[in-house]
Amino acid sequence: MRTGVFESSPVDAFLQQAAAHYRAGRIVEAEKLYRQTLALRPQFAEAHSGLAVMLFLQGRKEEAVVAFRKALEIAPDDVGTLYKLGNLLLREGSDPGRIEESFACFQRHARLTFAMTGQPAGEKGEAPHRIRHDQEQQEYLTQTHGLKNWQFHLADGGRIASPSVNATNAAKATEEWISSNPRIIVIDNLLSEEALDKLRRYCWGSTVWRETHPEGYLTAMPEHGLACPLIAQIDEDMRAAYPGILGVHQLRYLWAFKYDSRLNGVGTHADPSVVTFNFWITADEANLDPERGGLTVWNAAIPPDWKSQRYIGDTAGCQAYLARVGAKSVTIPYRCNRAVVFSSHLFHETDRMHFKEGYTNRRINITMLYGRGQG
């Protein structure tokens, strides 16, 4: 009888070796070890997920999707795998059903991740604007949804029976897009009234605002729950209405920003995509300065040697570059249901804003990125 000695199983040894190969950059060797692990334990979700990562790193994206799906068949509540598969399908996928499957992964990830916290994202020590928002949202959730105590909540974000995107302005907008240089156009009345109202209520009633920015705004990402069927429908209808703008470019990421108008918006940056659809959904009555509150876009693009870390998050560096090249800007005033569509490599920032106080008066924009950009 052995005492005090614990021998690792072959599976444990394979996993440890696979991790070591991965850290050393030996991806093919790590893949082989994950496959050896699965030969011994075919129903080992962790090994399927690890294999998926190795396949993705080799550019074998479709095989990676299959491996992630297998991992979720075995362990459907693994939040890490849900997040990875959701991102892989959205950012790299090509099959027609990828958005629906990606969004389902993200919503399940959000429910499993955030339902356990029992408290809003803004905890003690958070920025005052974060705490103020969460107090306002709690009051709204109590009055509108009957939720007296804070809990993770997703409002109704289902598809609507009619088209979600107005096609009335499509021909004119496409003509403007083709002839514009740089490519910056405005599309008013982007969404149908039903889609606009439902999307607005989804953003008010869903506790998806997980990231806090010191400038004064909050972010909701797909993995936070901003991945409802209605947004998938908007993507489908937008690509159908605007093929002359989007062409072959597919939706690759999206987010929403919600602001405190006493503070600042998003600083100067560019987007890692080809075409940006940025649209606003807060009612015009909330905007106290109709000539401002929108978006400023410059006629200068990202230098070819800049990586994303440089053109996202370094406002001062971006502004210095724009001053150096003598870039000129145009500011598009805020209008509800107005989309500003532009080449993603153009620098842009939130214009100064002045909105009414109150939860449903907070400025909300949705940004949808199409195609793969620089960096």
Are 101 and 173 part of one and the same domain? no
Are 307 and 185 part of one and the same domain? yes
Contact 351, 338 (CB under 8 A): no
Contact 353, 334 (CB under 8 A): yes
Helix 193-205 vs helix 229-241: crossing angle, to nearest 10 = 150
Residue from 5, 2, 21, 24 nearest 13 by CA: 21
Are 89 and 176 part of one and the same domain? no
pLDDT bin (cut points 50, 70, 90) of residue 122 is low
What is the domain extent for residue 273? 131-151+153-370
pLDDT bin (cut points 50, 70, 90) of residue 239 is very high
Give the burial string for 143-165 (b: 16+ CB within 10 Å, else e).
eeeebeebebbbbebebbeebbb
204 phi and psi angles, rounded to 5 deg: -70, -45
At 30-52, the pLDDT tens digits run 999 999 999 999 999 999 999 99
Are 171 and 88 part of one and the same domain? no
Count of domains forming the chain = 2
Are 239 and 292 part of one and the same domain? yes
Residue 6 has pLDDT above 50, yes or no: no
Ramachandran quadrant class, 189 (left: phi over 0; alpha: psi -120 to 50; beta: rest):
left
CATH number for the domain that contains residue 51: 1.25.40.10
In a domain? residue 107: yes
Residue 153 has pLDDT above 60, yes or no: yes
In a domain? residue 75: yes
Residue 261 has pLDDT above 90, yes or no: no
CATH number for the domain that contains residue 365: 2.60.120.620
Are 302 and 199 part of one and the same domain? yes
Bridging pattern class, strands 339-343 and 329-332: unpaired
